[in-house]
Amino acid sequence: MKIATFNVNGIKARLNAVTDWLDESQPDVVLCQEIKSVDQGFPREPFEDRGYNVETHGQKGFNGVAILSKRPLEDVRRGLPGDDSDEQARWIEATVMGDHHAVRVCGLYLPNGNPAPGPKYDYKLAWMQRLEARARDLLADEMPALMAGDYNVIPQAEDAARPEAWKDDALYLPQTRAAFRRILNLGFTEAFRARTEAPGYYSFWDYQAGAWEKNNGIRIDHLLLTPAAADLMTDCQIDAFARGREKPSDHVPVWIDLAA
DNA sequence: ATGCCCGCACACTGCGGA
């Protein structure tokens, strides 16, 4: 079962880029972030025509997450638990039935947090605390589970082409990386790093200043697997080629294959 | 030192993004 995360940066602006990639890459499940659309405005047809079930959790203008799945989705839940006053659409989860295992898949769009320090950074850190709580609950369940999405976290220096440029940024501040590491240390496997030690692999290149042409990227889109899910992983790759296409997102898909 | 480029909305300018 091939499961991908993809920050599309506007699903309506990205229709061709996303459907072209779906046709080539043939993922079973896609966790989408930054759909920048309300639920009613999500263009369902191109995905349903390709055999995908579509579940959205959108809001007007910004943020918004969705799940596309060729397999039926059960027990869909929207919104990260822990703060009923949080209006931002950044979390959606569901159960996908594999041939041998049911997998709980969680799609997330973690707050950017800039400028730091400030209220936006406080919101990011508070959101990461709620994420840690949900992560603990996922580990306590028997079902293989994963949390995948745009984490807005550069875990280590080797995950940026120019780490010195990010030292005061909310994506790379020590507090941010510590909060990410706390979640990992609960027992999660960061899928890409579990399979590739080398530096120089990125999932985001800014639209500005020729970042793609210079390969000035950062790796901020991650899949975190519970031990039961990590045992099933057979592959993990970054589809960097998508960044070189026409009218691309600034992020590219990252995917895993699970023997589920 | 700052902005570069995008997408979206109370849209022809401002905001958020990273």
Q: Where do the structural domains in chain A lie, given as residue ranges?
A: 2-258
pLDDT of residue A142: 84
Nucleotide nearest residue A209, measured CA to C1': B4
pLDDT of residue A253: 98
Neighbour tally for A244: CB within 10 Å: 11
Query: Contact, A152 vs A63, CB < 8 A?
Result: no
* Segment A152-166, tens digit of pLDDT: 999 999 999 999 999
CA–C1' nearest nucleotide, residue A8: B7
State residue A98's pLDDT score. 94
The whole-number pLDDT of residue A166 equals: 95
Report the pLDDT value the prediction gives residue A31, as an integer from 0 to 100. 98
Q: How many angstroms separate the CA atoms of A128 and A169, rounded?
A: 16
Q: Does residue A215 have a known ligand-binding role?
A: no
Identify nearest nucleotide to residue A247 by CA to C1′ distance: B6
Nucleotides in chain B with any atom closer than 7 Å to protein CB? 3-10, 16-18
Q: Which residues of chain A have pLDDT under 50?
A: none
A2-258 belongs to CATH 3.90.950.10: no
A222 appears as a binding residue in the annotation: no
With a CB cutoff of 8 Å and minimum separation 6, the contacts of A232 are A101, A144, A258, A259, A260
| Residues in contact with A48: Cβ distance below 8 Å, sequence separation at least 6, in sequence order | A54
pLDDT value for A145: 98
| Residues of A designated as active site | 109, 150, 251
Choose among A187, A104, A113, A181: nearest CA to A148.
A104
Q: Establish whether A213 is an annotated binding residue.
A: no
User: pLDDT by residue (tens digit) across A53-105?
Assistant: 999 999 999 999 999 999 999 999 999 999 999 999 999 999 999 999 999 99
Give the dihedral of Cα atoms A96, A204, A130, A64; nearest 10 deg.
-60
